[in-house]
Structure 1
């Protein structure tokens, strides 16, 4: 005779075993912060003793959550997540979400098809919140963020407007650090390779760099766009050398572009830093292994992802965290070393 399937315990039985009301049991199981620790512990023991398994559909309705968040990047580049910068951001997001029950949905959303896919996810509420990266000037992702009722955290400020919740590195301050270092090094003919002109990070880094050069009494010789890629940095460096063969320093607003600039210098038979000093921005894992090792402005890339996820979870849980600016600092290596002290430094005059 076939045994009948074992009956699953009910929420009422859990409540009775824990000595609490059905409502209190439900709230404890769904991690309601207003349930006392004593009741939460009693319900936890009852769940374990009875082998109670919450109904996922009922739980989602009770909490109005689906257990997923989206990280959408405004890019149509299929190899984007092989980019060290975005790989680090994603690792940071994932490392924080591992402490929660939330799943991560990664989405490239720069194309019309990608934007429509994100719109459907938001309209159907198949996610509890959204993180946006690399939002450009007139980006449809920005409009979607304005229209959705779900919480949205920006990784980096958009070019126009200031969102309610964002995490951003101190791009402007980092640009100033690069300029101050090159000025202290005695460089006089200084150029810059910037990223996409419709990204706030590009604009802010250039602003900070220009400001510090002006305070040092130095002009910015030229600016070329390099789209934050190694190949873009190579091409931009070629154009700079063609127009200004006597330049003696370049600030690339991303490590990938800085590595491209170094490659072009080698192909041209020029040395860094003897002929041209090179400073990057990011301090990615590849920077110490460049030829020569790259002086660069360090931004906490993995922390950027982790803080985005932390902020989004706070908002989902009903809190209203303040936005966050992460500090940057200069890491000095051989591509633009600290100048040696003068031999007569400290001598009496």
Structure 2
């Protein structure tokens, strides 16, 4: 269909004319409603193909009260969104599950208070059917907004204040305890930690696991707290630990990116890894294999976390109870040459 040399978008009217039915009948088929004969459905399907009709999803949502879209909210700074391969894996895993169900994913980044205010308004506008929330903190205003709107939701991670909301997570504390115990088993006597992101459950649980593993050997002076799971925070944390304890011989970094930054500082200071200092990370991300030597770490199934969270939201949209879909996934230690 041409209009002044430009192709005109096909409409419901075009489909109805081609199929020889009313526009109301076409609308019932498009919206999945009953009371349409098999013959009419077949004619409408053939007409849609012939005229090249593409349904207007926004208009359809007014009828069926569904946007067919799920929001993925990532409460992290923009810089970390680009740097952290786990976020990308969570995103791809979620998108894969949503694509299988013919849902669209809307990626939403909450970096600043202004972002959070904007997102809270967006959630209330009815433009998405549910949300996946990544990196929520305790007391997070996004968590409050999701709760108040009663949106189908699943959290990646398990903040302590989400009530009975669905979540998918790993046991950060047990995994941190296991890899720290293994690091200590290599004969290290002064083991420190670069503890990142203590304002969320993953960071605080990894620190708790580190303390568990060392028991009465734990020295609070050998813990350096940094804000983010980032390479630069790993550098800053390692410099601080070296300044306080020049003879440190073991380090648990609470993410692979943090560990890579710490290794950069150690090697620049002339410390051999693992001969002088053994170092371990957490995530088993692409950072781990870019390190030299390759990094011992904990495998976090980021893609599977994203997929499981998306599947949980979809089940809730279908009317199933959300607390039946909380899951804790396995996260084994992967031991390499860095320790």
Structure-1-length-normalised TM-score: 0.81
Q: Does the 8 Å CA contact 1:176/1:208 hold for their aligned counterparts?
A: yes
2:128 corresponds to 1:127: yes
The 2-side partners of 1:266 and 1:253 are apart by: 19
- Compute the displacement of 1:240 (Å): 1.0
Structure 2 residue runs of 5 or longer lacking an equivalent are: 3-9
> In the aligned structure 2, how far is the partner of 1:199 from the partner of 1:65?
32
CA spacing shift, 1:57–1:275, aligned 2, 3 Å: closer
- Between the aligned partners of 2:254 and 2:114, the Cα distance in structure 1 is 30
CA distance in 1, matches of 2:116, 2:212: 37
Residue in structure 2 matched with residue 252 of structure 1 by the alignment: 253
**1:200 equivalenced with 2:194 (yes/no):** no
5+ residue gaps, structure 1, are 17-21, 337-349
1:71, distance to aligned residue in structure 2 (A):
1.0
Q: CA deviation at 1:241?
A: 1.3
SS in 1 for 2:100: coil
What whole-Å deviation, never above 9, does each CA across 1:327-349 have from its counterpart, x for those lacking one? Answer: 1111111101xxxxxxxxxxxxx
The corresponding residue for 1:293 is 294
Say whether the 8 Å CA contact 1:173–1:328 is kept in structure 2.
no
Q: Is the 8 A contact 1:159 1:199 kept in 2?
A: no
Matched with 2:236 is: 235
Residue 259 of structure 1 and its aligned partner are, at CA, apart by: 0.4
Are the counterparts in 1 of residues 260 and 287 from structure 2 also a CA contact under 8 Å?
A: no
2: CA distance, partners of 1:31 / 1:185? 63
Distance 1:262 1:76, change over 3 A: closer
**1:50-94 CA distance string (max 9 Å, x none):** 438666456323431012111111124356234212122112122
Please state how far the C-alpha of 1:323 moved relative to its aligned partner.
Answer: 0.3
Counterpart for residue 224 of structure 2: 224
- Tell whether the 8 Å contact from 1:157 to 1:163 is kept in structure 2 after alignment: no
**Is 1:166 aligned to 2:167, yes or no?**
yes
Q: Give the match's secondary structure for 2:229.
A: coil
* 1:187 alignment partner, SS class: coil
Corresponding position: 1:83 with 2:84: yes
Label 1:8 to 1:195 Cα distance change in 2 as closer, same or farther (>3 A).
Answer: same
> What is the aligned partner in structure 2 of residue 341 from structure 1?
none
The match for 1:347 is none
Alpha-carbon distance between aligned partners in 1 of 2:20 and 2:87, rounded to the nearest angstrom: 45
Q: Give the RMSD, CA atoms, in angstroms.
A: 3.1
User: Aligned match of 2:46 in 21, 24, 49?
Assistant: 49
Q: CA deviation at 1:45?
A: 4.0
- The offset of 1:31, in angstroms, is 6.2
> How far 1:314 moved relative to its partner?
1.4
- Per-residue deviation at 1:14? 9.8
Distance 1:105 1:260, change over 3 A: same
8 Å CA contact retained: 1:67, 1:127: yes
Distance 1:43 1:183 in 2: 72
Partners of 1:126 and 1:158 in 2: CA distance = 25
C-alpha deviations, 1:263-304, integer Å up to 9, x for none?
111011001111110000000023123111100011101111
SS in 2 for 1:182: helix
TM-score using structure 2 length:
0.83
How far is the alpha carbon of 1:176 from its aligned partner?
Answer: 1.4
Going from structure 1 to structure 2, the CA distance change for 1:48 and 1:197 (only over 3 Å counts) comes to same
Q: Of residues 316, 322, 326 in structure 1, which corresponds to 2:325?
A: 322
